[in-house]
């Protein structure tokens, strides 16, 4: 396949767009690979791409039980940011944002990265203090951020509810100018195309049903609906199904829970919102406007364990109540569609990129609310771990054994009943 370019778009447009090649192959699985990545979402595809690009390991297969982007990768609100404050997360998410800034050029695929900035509202003096603390930590780590007062927020986003009788009285906000959004399906397709060009086999409709072990108990392959496939190393990046796959592999129960997280899109409206708006503490809500004009928004988890890609009505009600309290101008907009993603919520709200207790098996899980924004760094660090058997410096704190030693990265966003564990 050739590189995409402006000239190629013009050429194809003049010839009826009949000369485009497939973006990636549809190969039959081979009997053996140097590495297998279970999960064809953004994290799995990014891992395969960086294994090939950064480490020269090109005999790699990505195994996806359905179609690319059919899981959480296509079921999120597309927000990209690095406003984290706990060591372990701070450096990791900033590393990810730096990759995002040049990802379209790297992949030769427009992931539609829009650094429109994120405004995180606060509604009390305590909220202002918490925002200032977070921003101070960010700036000490070289991450951009600014504390806005009420008047500055009003000038930037004039159509929020600033009235005296507002339920959530806006006092100001924490602002990260480099944050923004990207197009979730474009990210998956871009990584898939780039990985395929480097020789990676992307095998869809190939569900892993079991694992193969040698006499020592090491993982040496997988059983799938398309036959046995052996590999020198196996990485697992399956989001909300992490516990199921880990138990299948003999790892046992991981310190994570599966929850549904809903998201919503309104009908298209005229340009209305130039930033990503979010708030927490009093409630939990985030909203942005897509390139098609729809308002994309979400809120809290469905507060029960669930493997269904749908949600319950009380959360639908709660999220739309937040819409009305913060942006009453959207009161007559119609809901176009909604969906749910299966979140693997770790018990400290932070992810895991580490070797598993089973030799030859590597884990990428526990992403909570941070999965999409972490996609490039997750793949980069996971590929480094698989290739070199040692953590990348940016992901060195995201170890599985921190739960055994009590060295938590307590960045909020944990499972609904974390204290039960």
pLDDT tens sequence across 207-248: 999 999 999 999 999 999 999 999 999 999 999 899 999 999
> What is the structure's pLDDT at 255?
92
Summarize pLDDT for 376-405 with one digit per residue, the tens.
999 999 999 999 999 999 999 999 999 988
Helix (H) or strand (E) holding 278: strand 276-279
List, in sequence order, every residue forming a beta bridge with 256; answer none if it has no partner: 346
Measure the CA–CA gap between 215 and 359, rounded to whole angstroms.
Answer: 12
Summarize pLDDT for 272-318 with one digit per residue, the tens.
999 999 998 777 899 999 999 999 999 988 888 888 888 888 899 99
Helix (H) or strand (E) holding 314: helix 313-326
Measure the CA–CA gap between 403 and 187, rounded to whole angstroms.
Answer: 31
Residue 274 corresponds to which tokens in the numbers above? 């130039």
**CATH architecture classification, 118-179+258-345:** 2-Layer Sandwich (3.30)
User: 330, 364, 332: which is closest to 350 by C-alpha?
Assistant: 364
Q: What's the CATH superfamily of 25-82+85-108+184-254+348-420? A: FAD/NAD(P)-binding domain (3.50.50.60)
| Domain ranges for the chain | 25-82+85-108+184-254+348-420, 118-179+258-345
List, in sequence order, every residue forming a beta bridge with 64; answer none if it has no partner: none
Least confident residue range of 177-186, 343-352, 410-419:
410-419
Summarize pLDDT for 74-112 with one digit per residue, the tens.
888 999 999 999 999 999 999 999 999 999 999 999 999
Helix, strand, coil percentages (3-state) for the chain, rounded to 5, are: 30, 25, 40
98: left (phi over 0), alpha (psi -120 to 50) or beta: alpha
Give percent above pLDDT 70 in the chain.
97
**What is the sign, positive or negative, of the torsion defined by CA atoms of 268, 272, 273, 279?**
negative
List, in sequence order, every residue forming a beta bridge with 301; answer none if it has no partner: 261
Measure the CA–CA gap between 228 and 250, rounded to whole angstroms.
Answer: 17
Summarize pLDDT for 131-149 with one digit per residue, the tens.
999 999 999 999 999 999 9
> What is the structure's pLDDT at 281?
73
> What is the structure's pLDDT at 421?
43
Spatial neighbors of 152 by CB under 8 A, at least 6 apart, are 172, 173
Spatial neighbors of 27 by CB under 8 A, at least 6 apart, are 201, 202, 203
């Amino acid at each position: 396949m050739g590189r995409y370019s402006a000239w190629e778009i013009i050429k194809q447009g003049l010839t009826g767009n009949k000369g485009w090649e497939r973006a990636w192959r549809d190969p039959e699985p081979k009997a053996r690979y140097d590495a297998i990545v279970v999960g064809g979402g953004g994290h799995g595809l990014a891992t395969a791409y960086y294994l090939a690009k950064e480490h020269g390991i090109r005999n790699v297969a990505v195994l996806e039980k359905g179609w690319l982007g059919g899981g959480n990768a296509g079921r999120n609100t597309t927000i990209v940011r690095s406003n984290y404050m706990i060591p372990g997360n701070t450096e990791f998410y900033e590393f990810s944002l730096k990759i995002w800034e040049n990802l379209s050029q790297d992949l030769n695929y427009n992931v539609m990265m829009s650094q429109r900035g994120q405004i995180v509202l606060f509604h009390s003096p305590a909220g202002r203090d918490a925002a200032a603390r977070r921003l101070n930590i960010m700036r000490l780590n070289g991450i951009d951020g600014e504390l806005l007062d009420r008047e500055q927020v009003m000038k930037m986003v004039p159509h929020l509810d600033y009235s005296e009788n507002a339920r959530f009285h806006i006092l100001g906000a924490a602002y990260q100018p480099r944050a923004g959004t990207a197009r979730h399906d474009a990210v998956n397709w871009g990584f898939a195309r780039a990985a395929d060009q480097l020789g990676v086999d992307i095998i869809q409709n190939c569900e892993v049903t079991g694992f193969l072990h040698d006499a020592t108990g090491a993982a040496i392959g997988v059983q799938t609906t398309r036959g046995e496939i052996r590999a020198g190393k196996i990485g697992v990046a399956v989001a909300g199904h992490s516990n199921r796959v880990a138990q299948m592999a003999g790892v046992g129960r991981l310190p994570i829970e599966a929850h549904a997280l809903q998201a919503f899109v309104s009908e298209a409206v005229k340009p209305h919102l130039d930033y990503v708006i979010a708030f927490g503490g009093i409630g939990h809500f985030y909203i942005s406007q897509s390139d098609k004009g729809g308002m994309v928004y979400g809120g809290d988890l469905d507060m029960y364990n669930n493997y269904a890609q749908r949600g319950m009505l009380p959360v639908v009600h709660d999220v739309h109540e937040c819409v009305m309290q913060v942006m009453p101008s959207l009161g007559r907009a119609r809901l176009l569609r909604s969906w749910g993603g299966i979140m693997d919520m770790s018990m400290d709200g932070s992810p895991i990129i580490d070797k598993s207790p089973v030799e030859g098996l590597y884990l990428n899980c526990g992403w909570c609310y941070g999965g999409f924004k972490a996609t490039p760094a997750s793949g980069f660090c996971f590929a480094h771990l698989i290739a070199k058997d040692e953590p990348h410096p940016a992901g060195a704190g995201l170890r599985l054994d921190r739960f055994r030693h009590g060295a938590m990265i307590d960045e909020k966003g944990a499972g609904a009943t974390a204290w039960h564990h």
